[in-house]
Amino acid sequence: MKKLSLIFLFLITIQASFADKHALIIAVGDYPKSTGWSSISSVNDVPLIKGALLNQGFLEKDIITLINEQATKQGILDALARLQSQLKPGDIVVIHYSGHGQQIFDDNGDEIDDKDESLVPIDAWVRYTHNYKGENHLRDDELHNIITNLRNTLGQDGQLLMILDSCHSGSATRGGITRGGEATFAPENWKAKDQDDSTGSAMLEREKVSDTAAPFVMISGASANELNYEYDGVGSLSYAFSKAMNELGSDFTYRQLFSNIAANMNVISPKQKPTIEGDIDYKLFKGDYVKQQPYFEVTKIPTSTVIQINGGKLQRLFNNTTVYVMPAGTTKVDEGKALAKGTISNAKFNESFIKLNKPLTDRNEKNYWVFIDKPTYGDISIQVYLEPDTDTEIQKSVASFLDKNGLGSVVNDTLKADVVISKTSSGYTLNSAKGLDVFDATNKQRGTDVQADLNNKLFNYAQGMYLKNLSLKNYDYEFDFKLLPVEYVAEIGELGARLPEDSYNNSEGILEVRPGIDHVLLEVTNKSNRPLYFSLIEINSKGEIAPFMPNNKCRLTNDDRKLAPGKTMIFKECVYRFGPPYERLILKGFATDSPINFQSTVETRGERTRSTNNNPLENFIKNSYTQSRGSEGTEASGNMDGYSTEFVYEIVKE
């Protein structure tokens, strides 16, 4: 019997180790004019998603792509059926959709708001007519049946991840290219029931599946009542997903993956709220993913000493960054095994040219991967659009401020802008270019110098976005942190029991806290093999920066914030409570092997620091307060090395 048990266990292990990874990538962007839909940049998402999956062990032969005219409704259904036929229990499946989405009248009475959500294939029309009644829309009801069949085929040892870079509602007027944004598809004079705004994506049908069905996770680019904006010619969710997949840490769950996605989305489209639903605490790809230093593929070798790679300013690569050329398949850089070293001499939008210090003997680009050695971090820079009614002196002041300090430029198109400045009766508002939501304002009635105040607010925003974007990924310093809900009696300072970790999470998977009611503790985990020091800052929607750990009410010393290898600490001496304004914020954490403390640097806006250890990271943050910048890239003084990670939370009204 014991022998049979061992054989059975061995067979299970063998089956798990031979789980295959499959993907279906659907991208619809060039909608025919006859459909009434606008063209969008969905096709640009394909290399981002496909590259991220190939890096994670998905094979080219197991990735199905449907692009534009291939993605009719029948084409999508046929591809899903083909995918289903290739699966066996225990496999892993990723389905990614980039395109328009739309709400459509409910045709079977199963929706409380009388609306289905739908994906929009290339042959679906935007309006109900006498000869088109929605038959080519892919409704959530149909999608649910397909998902159920896939999950039942994969079984409890498999996994299904669906990513929807689209949206289904909202009203697109101006402020960026959106996916979706059209009125509900319905017959004339149709009227829906009055319902409160939905939360979550509204695409996930919650009917029961088999008890042995595969875990399922759905990540959507926007909440059900929001628009989904594009970012620099790609889908915002596709960009955030690919970036997060290239920066995976140890033992990642889908919850942690989404936390990284939400942090990236907060930078590129601050008011857009991605959502996650389903079995989010399962390990990503059952733990079978590649954790390694981020790398870039060589796409061309023009000469033996010049190479071109598939990454540029979109991936935060700038001129003067130094790199190592390593054999393809390398997971961690060993300088002694580098085939060459090089410097980025021409960083473009999505590609870079690198000059090497010695020639490559083999001109086959597939044999090489490129890893970052010492990065430059790109200057603090924003593009500003001024509404036509902006006063002339304000126009001149903003243009001069940006130009003189190398902080960006004024542009003549909102699609090229990061910030839109609008005139009001009392001053000016600063608006995010994606959606034109106000994030800050000046008020001339308060006796302030409007020009100086406006320029200072522009700098704050630029600096905040810059630091949100900053990414350090040396896994020798890997750490993680999160906020844990806890009972606390503020009147007597009594700490009670810890609450379940998701007690404060909303339907989008984001932790929400209410001022004066909710309290949290900070948990930090050292995932590296060396002792680490850490420090955390908080960045709000205006770009303003505040110390989070340590801070004035929690003055822990460097030694108090030193973590032994593999150790997790909950800092019970620091109970966090919150106050207005009501908004979504990013906590940015940094770890190194030397003492680090951003508190005094942030509180004095870089004027002074209590630190005597001259940590390069502290100096870098200090230098970010300098308004006069260079023209191309900023090199860190000293050997700036470490690891950064983010956590997103939101302060809400009771």
Count of residues for the chain? 654
In the chain, what is the greatest distance between 2 CA atoms, to the nearest angstrom? Answer: 89
Please check whether residue 438 is in contact with residue 431, taking contact to mean a CB–CB distance below 8 angstroms.
yes
Q: State whether residue 184 is helix, strand or coil.
A: coil
Query: Checking DSSP bridges between strand 408-411 and strand 532-539, what pairing results, if any?
Result: unpaired
> Strand 643-651 vs strand 584-592: parallel, antiparallel, or unpaired?
antiparallel
Q: What pLDDT digit, counting tens, does each position of 228-282 carry? A: 888 888 999 999 999 899 888 888 899 989 999 999 888 888 778 899 999 998 9
Q: How large is the angle between the packed helices 140-154 and 73-86, nearest 10 degrees?
A: 10
| β partners of residue 422 | 429
565 pLDDT more than 90 = yes
Percent with pLDDT over 70 in the chain: 85
pLDDT computed for residue 217 by the predictor: 94
At residue 452, does pLDDT exceed 60?
yes
CA distances to 81, 136, 147, 500, 578 from 203, in Å: 20, 17, 11, 26, 32
pLDDT in the model for residue 333 = 85
So what's the pLDDT on residue 520? 96
Choose the most confident range, by mean pLDDT, from 279-283, 431-435, 470-474. 279-283
Using CA atoms, how far residue 366 sits from 305, 329, 348, in Å, is 16, 10, 21
Q: Hunting for tokens 């591809």 — which residue is that?
A: 79
> Does pLDDT of 397 surpass 80?
yes
Q: What is the pTM for the complete model shown?
A: 0.78
The 10 Å Cβ neighbour count of residue 482 is 18
Kindly state the tokens that stand for 457.
């607010």
| Side chain identity at residue 167, one-letter code | C
DSSP 361: S
CB 479 within 8 A of CB 568: no
**Comparing C-alpha atoms, which of 441, 437, 647 is closest to residue 534?**
647
Give the Cα-Cα-Cα angle 270, 583, 524 (nearest 5 degrees): 90
Between 535 and 609, the more confident residue is 535
Q: Which residues contact 6 (CB under 8 A, 6 or more apart)?
A: none
Domains of the chain: 18-287 (3.40.50.1460), 295-374 (2.40.30.270), 382-467 (3.40.50), 475-651 (2.60.40.2550)
For 415, residues 6+ apart whose C-beta sits below 8 A from its C-beta are 176, 177, 433
Tens digits of per-residue pLDDT, 454-463? 999 998 998 8
Give the pLDDT band (50/70/90) at residue 9: very low
Q: What percent of the chain has pLDDT over 90?
A: 50
The whole-angstrom separation of Cα 183 and Cα 175 is: 18
Closest CA to 45 of 228, 252, 215, 200: 228
pLDDT of 501-525, one tens digit each? 999 999 888 999 999 899 999 999 9
Other CB atoms within a 10 A radius of the CB of residue 504 amount to: 21
101-146 pLDDT, tens digit each: 888 888 655 544 567 888 999 999 999 998 999 899 999 889 999 9
Strands (E), 253-321: 275-278, 295-303, 306-309
